[in-house]
C-alpha cells in the first residue's frame, strides 16, 4: 500500500485527538489498578504477591507482545486492529466482573486487557506517525499523555464506582466506557494514496514468477493433448477406415503418450516446488541469522548492554509504587479522613508533567539526554528508599508526586536509545528494550508482594526496589563515562550503523 506525504495537520489532528482518547480509555483502568488491587485482596483472600500478578500482567503483557502487535498492525492496518482491540479491552473488563477466583483474573484482566492495550498502543503510534513528519514529536507527546490523564481520572473514578456499585459494578461500567474505543478506532482513516495501482494489477504483480512457469507447463500439456486429438481425427478422416480395432489402438497410443507427458510434467512440478520451498526456507533462515547477528552486535555496545539492564531493573523496582501505593498507605494505618486525593491520581498527574518537562529539557542542545536519564534513575532509587520512612499521607503524597514525575523519563527513553545505537538500528534496539521493560513490569509488583508476604511489612520490599533502580542507574553511568572512549577505541570496532554513546554537550 502506498502512502501520501504526511500532511502534518488536517485530519491528522483528528487522529491525535482519537488516539489520545484511545489511550485514555484503554490504559486508565490498568494503570489505576491499585484501587482494584485492594478490593481483590479482600474479595479473594490471596497473598499480595499472587494478587499483584493481575495488574503486572495487564501492564506488562502488551510490551512483551510488542513484536506480535507490530505484525498485526502492519498486516491489517491501524483501524481494524483498534476496533478489534476495543472489543478485547471492553470484554476483558466486563468478564473480570464475574471472576470466581484470582486465576480467572489472570486471563480476563491480565492477558486479554493487557494484550488489547498493547495492540491499541501500537495502532495509535503507527497511525500518528503516518500522518505526521515535522510535527511527529509534538503529536506523539500529546497522545502519550492520554494514558497519564487516564491514570489520574480512573483512580478517583474507580474508587467512587466501587463505593456506589461495588467491585463488579465498577468493572462493568468501566468496560462499557471502553466501548467508546470503537468510535475512536473508526475515525482512524488510513492515509492511502489516491494514485495507487488498481487491486487487480497489484494482485498480479504480487504473484510469484514460479506460478507462471507452472501455468506455461500446464498450457503445454493442454496443447499436446489437442494436437494428438487433432492428428487422430485427421488420420481417421483420410483413411476413412471404420475399424473399431484401429480406433482402439490409436486411442490407446494417444492416451499412453498423454499420460507419459503428464507424469513428466508432474514430476518436474514437484521438483521445482521442492526447490522453491528449499530456497524460501534458506532465505528465511538467513534472515533469522542476520537478525541474531545484528542483535549480538548491539550487545557489543557497552552502553546498550547497560541500558538493557537499567530498563529491566528500573521497571522491576520503579513500577510497583503505582500499583501498591494505596496498600502502602493502608498498611501505614493512614486514616481515610486524611485522604484528599488517591495517591495513584497524584502519580498519574505528575507523570504527565514529568513527560512534558523532561521532553522539553531533552530538546536543549546543552542537555545530555543520557545523563538526564541516569539522573532520573538515581533520584527514583533514593525516593524508593524513603518510602519506608513515610508514615503520613502528606509524605506519601510528596513521594508519589516525585516518583510520578521521574517516571516521566519514558518520554526521553527513545532519545537515549537513538543516541546509543543510531537511527538505523532504533526499531530493532527499541523492540528488544521494550520486551525487557515488559518483563520488568510483569515481575516487579509480584516480587514486592512476595517480600510483604514473607516479612509482613513493605520496608524490605522497597529497599530491594530502590537497590534495583540504583544499581541500574550506576551501571548505565559507568558505561557512559567518557574515560572508556579514551581507554578503548570501541567505536571503530563496531559497524557504522551502531556506535558507542559519546558523552558530549550536544547529545
Most confident region among 87-101, 139-153, 247-261 by mean pLDDT:
87-101
pLDDT at position 293: 78
**261 pLDDT tier (thresholds 50, 70, 90):** low
> Which grid cell sits at 148?
497519564
pLDDT at position 174: 95
Give the span between the Cα atoms of 507 and 355, in whole angstroms. 19
**116 pLDDT tier (thresholds 50, 70, 90):** very high
pLDDT at position 486: 53
Domains delineated in the chain: 1-194 (1.20.1250.20), 301-484 (1.20.1250.20)
435 pLDDT higher than 70: yes
- The angle formed by the CA atoms of residues 146, 150 and 154, to the nearest 5 degrees, is 175
pTM as predicted: 0.66
Lowest model confidence (mean pLDDT) among 217-221, 316-320, 387-391, 404-408? 217-221
Please report which residue ranges of 332-489 form alpha helices under DSSP H: 343-363, 369-386, 393-407, 413-421, 426-455, 459-480, 483-487
Q: What's 134's DSSP letter?
A: T
Instruction: Name every residue whose Cβ is closer than 8 Å to that of residue 491 and which is 6 or more positions away in sequence.
Output: 485, 499, 500, 502
pLDDT at position 199: 44
> Which grid cell sits at 68?
506480535
pLDDT at position 467: 93
Instruction: Name every residue whose Cβ is closer than 8 Å to that of residue 272 and which is 6 or more positions away in sequence.
Output: 210, 213, 214
Q: Please, are residues 128 and 80 in contact by the beta-carbon 8 Å criterion?
A: no
Our CA dihedral for 461, 463, 466, 468, rounded to 10 degrees, sits at -70
> Which grid cell sits at 451?
517480600
Share of the chain above pLDDT 70, in %: 73
Q: What is the pLDDT of residues 121-148, one digit of tens each?
A: 888 888 887 887 777 767 777 888 888 8
193 pLDDT higher than 60: no
Q: Note the Cα 150 to chain centre separation in Å.
A: 19
Give the span between the Cα atoms of 112 and 86, in whole angstroms. 11
**269 pLDDT tier (thresholds 50, 70, 90):** low
Please report which residue ranges of 32-113 form alpha helices under DSSP H: 33-44, 48-64, 66-76, 78-96, 102-105
φ, ψ for residue 296, nearest 5 deg: -65, -35
- The angle formed by the CA atoms of residues 355, 360 and 364, to the nearest 5 degrees, is 145
88 pLDDT higher than 90: yes
Amino acid at each position: 500500500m502506498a502512502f501520501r506525504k504526511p500532511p502534518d495537520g488536517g485530519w491528522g489532528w483528528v487522529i491525535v485527538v482519537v488516539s489520545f482518547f484511545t489511550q485514555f480509555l484503554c490504559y486508565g483502568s490498568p494503570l489505576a489498578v491499585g484501587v482494584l488491587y485492594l478490593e481483590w485482596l479482600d474479595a479473594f483472600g490471596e497473598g499480595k504477591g499472587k494478587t499483584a500478578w493481575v495488574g503486572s500482567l495487564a501492564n506488562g503483557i502488551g510490551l512483551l507482545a510488542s513484536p506480535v502487535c507490530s505484525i498485526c498492525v502492519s498486516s491489517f492496518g491501524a483501524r481494524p486492529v483498534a476496533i478489534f482491540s476495543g472489543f478485547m479491552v471492553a470484554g476483558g473488563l466486563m468478564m473480570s466482573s464475574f471472576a470466581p477466583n484470582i486465576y480467572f483474573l489472570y486471563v480476563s484482566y491480565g492477558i486479554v486487557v493487557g494484550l488489547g492495550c498493547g495492540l491499541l498502543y501500537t495502532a495509535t503510534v503507527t497511525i500518528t506517525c503516518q500522518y505526521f513528519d515535522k510535527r511527529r514529536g509534538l503529536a506523539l507527546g500529546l497522545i502519550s499523555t492520554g494514558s497519564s490523564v487516564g491514570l489520574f481520572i480512573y483512580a478517583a473514578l474507580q474508587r467512587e464506582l466501587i463505593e456506589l456499585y461495588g467491585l463488579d459494578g465498577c468493572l462493568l461500567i468501566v468496560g462499557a466506557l471502553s466501548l467508546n474505543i470503537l468510535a475512536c478506532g473508526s475515525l482512524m482513516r488510513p492515509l492511502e494514496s489516491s494514485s495507487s495501482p488498481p487491486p487487480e494489477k497489484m494482485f498480479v504483480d504480487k504473484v510469484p514468477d514460479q506460478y507462471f512457469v507452472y501455468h506455461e507447463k500446464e498450457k503445454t500439456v493442454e496443447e499436446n493433448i489437442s494436437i494428438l486429438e487433432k492428428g487422430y481425427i485427421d488420420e481417421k478422416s483420410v483413411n476413412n477406415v471404420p475399424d473399431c480395432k484401429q480406433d482402439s489402438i490409436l486411442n490407446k497410443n494417444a492416451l499412453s503418450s498423454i499420460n507419459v507427458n503428464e507424469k513428466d510434467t508432474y514430476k518436474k512440478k514437484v521438483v521445482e516446488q521442492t526447490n522453491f520451498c528449499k530456497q524460501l526456507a534458506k532465505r528465511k533462515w538467513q534472515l533469522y541469522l542476520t537478525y541474531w547477528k545484528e542483535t549480538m552486535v548491539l550487545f557489543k555496545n557497552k552502553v546498550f548492554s547497560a541500558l538493557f539492564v537499567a530498563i529491566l531493573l528500573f521497571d522491576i523496582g520503579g513500577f510497583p509504587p503505582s500499583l501498591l501505593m494505596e496498600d502502602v498507605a493502608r498498611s501505614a494505618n493512614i486514616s481515610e479522613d486524611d485522604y484528599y486525593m488517591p495517591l495513584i491520581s497524584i502519580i498519574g498527574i505528575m507523570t504527565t508533567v514529568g513527560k512534558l518537562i523532561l521532553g522539553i529539557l531533552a530538546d536543549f542542545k546543552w542537555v545530555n539526554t543520557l545523563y538526564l536519564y541516569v539522573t532520573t534513575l538515581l533520584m527514583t532509587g533514593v525516593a524508593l528508599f524513603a518510602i519506608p520512612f513515610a508514615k503520613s499521607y502528606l509524605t506519601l503524597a510528596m513521594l508519589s508526586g516525585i516518583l510520578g514525575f521521574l517516571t516521566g523519563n519514558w518520554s526521553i527513553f527513545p532519545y537515549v536509545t537513538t543516541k546509543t545505537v543510531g537511527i538505523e538500528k532504533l526499531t530493532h534496539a527499541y523492540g528488544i528494550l521494550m520486551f525487557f521493560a515488559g518483563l520488568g513490569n510483569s515481575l516487579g509488583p509480584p516480587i514486592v508482594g512476595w517480600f510483604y508476604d514473607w516479612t509482613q511489612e513493605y520496608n524490605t520490599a522497597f529497599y530491594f526496589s530502590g537497590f534495583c533502580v540504583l544499581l541500574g542507574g550506576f551501571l548505565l553511568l559507568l558505561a557512559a563515562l567518557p574515560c572508556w572512549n579514551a581507554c578503548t577505541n570501541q567505536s571503530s570496532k563496531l559497524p557504522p550503523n551502531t556506535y558507542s554513546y559519546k558523552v558530549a554537550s550536544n547529545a
